[in-house]
Structure 1
Amino acid sequence: MQLTLRGLMTGPTLVFLHALGASAKEWKPVLHYLPGRDCVALDLPGFGAAAPYGYLNVAAMADWLADEIRSRALSSCVLVGHSMGGKIATLVAARAARGEIGLSAILGVVLVAASPPSPEPMDEDRRAEMIGWFAKKQASHAEAATFVDANTAARLPPPLRDTAIDDVRRSSREAWLGWLERGSREDWSAEARIISIPALILAGADDGDLGEDAQLRLNLPHYVTADVQVVQGAAHLIPYEQPQVLAALIEGHVANVTQAELPADFARLLGSDRVSRRTRAALLDRLRPPAHAAIWTAENRTTATALVAQILPDADGAAILADRILSGIADGTGDGWRFAILPPDREAWQRGFATMAAYGFASLDLGAQARLLERVADGEVGNREDEAQLSPEQMALWFEDVRAETVRIWMSLPTTMAAIGYDGFAVGGDGRRKQGYTRTGADDLEAWQPTVERAS
């Protein structure tokens, strides 16, 4: 079974994964507050209408979710995983970040009181009690009610509480025991690694085992960029307890990741077998916000953003592009050369920023910024006396390097490639035979090639 809500808005499809003892029904209160989104809430194998599947181990559950995503041929999606579903969402996101075929649609992850890739923290006496409920039979109504009430900050109203209790009782005995005895105890940290897909990590203020501390220790370290927030008035069953708050938080995260959304035809090509795993992973990584390098100040980033906006006035996302450029300069992954009279890139950019700051560049209006940059290009701006700045001659060459680096990074983005109709990355997958091109005449496209018109 699945719950599907088709909204009128464009944007990523939200794929919802429930907790232990729940089903797709736990997301109905949340979907009510997401009327404009395309949403798919799934019954994980062993639960809800999928209870007859019995227990799938963690590896099989991740394979199942990956196949579900591939089968829908989604051009973009965000995974929303609650508790047990969060562990599965993280493992599939890790595979997507490494370039696995058919998973390039995953733009973001929302973890709701999520079980981590490492063993889930749980009081062992409570684990034993929960195992006892299903040891020889299905849980009774009283036992299921005990489970639901223990995981909420306040008693749920009757309709929601009844649904939650019924879901626990119809869970597969094998799936319930399999997760508590094995799945929740498995350590997948090495497989999860560090994931470049941005995440929103949520914790209930009154959640004992998987609250804020557990999320900071066990889930946050697996994501390059993540925002951790605490939901007040909730324990573990946040989708039932605070559905409107949860929906608003999900909407905010979706808005943050949609800058990485690609046109549907281009996204399908990037996710196809015409693209190697390493190429796909590299291109997808360019869609995701880089971590801020410690060497750059907030003023440096403001200056870099203003420079990018002047160099590429019609390009979207100047701040994100600036962060990506600065990340490359900090890491030393630039274009491999520099002008002889300039110091190494990191120092040159730091001194270039200091020189621009001396002229108040970032605080000027757009017209004044443009006029100052014209003077920089003409060799009229600089300081020969201050070793923390660049001379006029150096500034002219540094600004040339800034322009080249900005355009180089911008052209390397999949969003730019989609906009100009470039598909040269899709000529050789991981098979022994590289597909290449069959037709090479001007304006003579092959069936697999997305034109700019098709990709828009």
Structure 2
Amino acid sequence: MRNSTPRAAEVRDLTISGGRRVRVRCWMGVGRPLVLLHGLLDDSEGWVQLARDTQRPCYALDLPGFGASSLPTRPRLSAYAEAIVEAMDQLDVDGCTLVGHSLGGGVATAVAERSDKVWALALLAPAGYGHIRVAEAVSLPIVRNIAEAALPLALVNPLTVTAAYATFVAHHRLPSKDLMDRVRRRAWRSGPGVRMAVETIAAAGRSEHGFTNRQIAFHGPVAALWGEHDALVNPGHLPTLQAAIPQAHAEVWRGMGHHPQRERPADLAHFIESHAVTGRTRRRPTLRVQRAA
């Protein structure tokens, strides 16, 4: 149920090793906290609605290279995960449910393998469980340099952002206004972070030691969710996730694109509560296809 009175967020900057910064938005609440990791071209502000649809404490972090956080030390999921583990230690978060979307889903998986503070995982169209064609193409050296140079001009143009989103992210679905506004506002300083994130996603999909080639060293409850119309991290990655995380409960929501936290935040809050926060580990994977609300 959506809260009638929105909770205000406290914004904090944490300093981790090397003098780097991680920005976090904190919403106070009751119970085991949710730690929230966003996806590509987003930041911690993207979790505002979900934070309003749960009473639990929420800690939304700007991933390295996004929002107000410093760049990662290298373009690998492990580097992002190391920064998030350090930030969680500073926040004194213990026994959390870690929620990761897209790039944040891959980072969340890597964090769960490194930190005993993670008791449960909720992975929303997570990167790292298969090849993502756009990332593979943009990570080619020549294309990468051209794309980084052209990115700010492309991102400040609402028509370009809308067309790219509808084509490469969610089939014929338009981006939310708040996402477009933040992308345009940060266009001129987003290039290096986006470049490293795209390299990271491409590398994760082809790594010999990546999630596609082994089981994940995490045995707590896991809930995984895809949108039927997700064109960026499509539901075809789901079988790989179920092989890597046998206990995962997985669902594909009909009529939904790439951003459940924007398209169906109240349903997402219920999903996390039912299948991650209070979920039990399963010996066999489960899959449910849900009709659009």
> TM > 0.5 between the two?
yes
- 1 CA distance for matches of 2:145 and 2:185? 16
What's the counterpart of residue 14 of structure 1?
A: 34
Matched ranges for 1:75-224 at <5 A: 75-95=94-114, 103-116=115-128, 118=129, 120-123=131-134, 132-135=146-149, 138-140=152-154, 141-142=156-157, 143-150=160-167, 151-152=169-170, 154-157=173-176, 159-166=177-184, 169=187, 172-186=190-204, 187=207, 188-189=210-211, 193-217=216-240, 219-224=241-246
Q: Say whether 1:289 aligns with 2:285.
A: no
**Aligned ranges for residues 248-259 of structure 1 at < 5 Å?**
248-257=270-279
Whether the 8 Å contact between 1:90 and 1:192 is mirrored in structure 2 is no
Aligned length: 248
With over 3 angstroms needed to count, the CA separation of the structure-2 counterparts of 1:289 and 1:239, relative to structure 1, is: closer
Matches within 5 A, 1:356-375: none
Counterpart CA distance in 2 for 1:229 and 1:290 is 15
Shift of 1:37: 0.7
Residues in 2 aligned to 1:47 and 1:192: alpha-carbon distance in whole angstroms: 29
In structure 1, distance between residues paired with 2:202 and 2:182 = 20
- What secondary structure, in the 3-state scheme, does the structure 1 residue paired with 2:39 have? coil
Q: Is the 8 A contact 1:206 1:233 kept in 2?
A: yes
CA contact (8 A) 2:223 2:248 kept: yes
Instruction: Measure, in 1, the Cα distance between the counterparts of 2:189 and 2:270.
Output: 29
Q: Deviations over 1:398-448 (max 9, x none)?
A: xxxxxxxxxxxxxxxxxxxxxxxxxxxxxxxxxxxxxxxxxxxxxxxxxxx
Contact in 2 for aligned 1:55/1:178 (Cα 8 Å)? no
Deviation of residue 204 (structure 1)? 0.8
Matches within 5 A, 1:406-417: none
Matched position secondary structure for 1:235: coil
**CA shift in 2, pair 1:55/1:174, >3 Å:** farther
Distance 1:235 1:126 in 2: 22
Describe how 1:315-354 pairs up with structure 2 within 5 A. none
TM-score, scaled relative to structure 2: 0.74
* C-alpha deviation, 1:29, in angstroms: 1.8
Name 1:227's counterpart in structure 2: 249
- State the AA in 2 paired with 1:181: E
Q: What is the Cα-based RMSD across aligned positions, in Å?
A: 2.8
1:74-99 Cα shifts (integer Å, max 9, x gaps): 2310110000011111112123xxxx
Q: Deviations over 1:229-286 (max 9, x none)?
A: 11233211222222222122112124424xxxxxxxxxxxxxxxxxxxxxxxxxxxxx
The one of 255, 260, 272 equivalent to 1:238 is 260
* Cα distance, 1:31 vs structure 2: 1.4
Q: State the shift of 1:183 in Å.
A: 4.1
How far is 1:205 from its partner?
0.9
**Residue deviations 1:46-69, cap 9 Å, x none?**
00122x536642221111111122
Q: What CA distance in whole angstroms lies between the structure 2 residues aligned with 1:168 and 1:192?
A: 37
Match of 2:92 among 52, 59, 73: 73
**1:25 and 2:45 aligned:** yes
Give the residue type in structure 1 aligned to 2:87. E
Instruction: Note the residue ranges of structure 1 that are not aligned, 5 or more in a row.
Output: 96-102, 258-287, 293-456
Rounded to whole Å, the distance in 1 between the matches of 2:73 and 2:153 is 16
| Aligned residue number for residue 417 of structure 1 | none
Q: CA deviation at 1:181?
A: 3.1
Look up the SS of the partner of 1:78 in the other structure: strand
Task: Give SS of 2:269's match.
Answer: helix
Match of 2:4 in 1: none
Whole-angstrom CA distance in 2 between matches of 1:26 and 1:194: 29
CA deviation after TM superposition for structure 1 residue 201, in Å: 0.6
Q: 1:105 to 1:137 in 2, by over 3 A?
A: closer
Question: Displacement of 1:148 after TM fit?
Answer: 3.4
The structure richer in strand per residue is 2
Q: Structure 1: which amino acid aligns with 2:49?
A: P
Q: Secondary structure at the match of 1:109?
A: strand
Q: Matches of 2:185 and 2:124 in 1, distance apart?
A: 18
Report 1 or 2 for greater relative contact order, CA contacts < 8 Å, sequence distance ≥ 6: 2
Equivalent position to 1:41, from 53, 60, 67: 60
Supply the distance in 2 between the matched residues of 1:136 and 1:216 (Cα, whole angstroms).
36
User: In structure 2, do the counterparts of structure 1 residues 106 and 227 end up closer, same or farther at CA, with 3 Å as the change threshold?
Assistant: same
Q: 1:174 to 1:191 in 2, by over 3 A?
A: farther
Partner Cα separation in structure 2 for residue 47 and residue 227 of structure 1: 30
Conserved in 1, the CA contact under 8 Å of 2:139 and 2:202? no
Q: TM-score, normalised by structure 1?
A: 0.49
Larger CA Rg, structure 1 vs 2:
1
Change in Cα spacing, 1:165 to 1:152, as seen in structure 2 (3 Å) is farther
Structure 1 residue runs of 4+, over 6 Å off?
Answer: 126-131
Percent same amino acid among aligned pairs? 22
Decide whether aligned partners of structure 1 residues 236 and 127 sit closer, same or farther in structure 2, where only a CA change above 3 A counts.
farther
**Residues 1:4 and 1:166: Cα distance change in structure 2 (over 3 Å):** farther
Using the TM superposition, name which of 37-46 and 54-63 deviates more.
54-63
Contact kept in structure 1, 2:215 and 2:245, CA below 8 Å: no
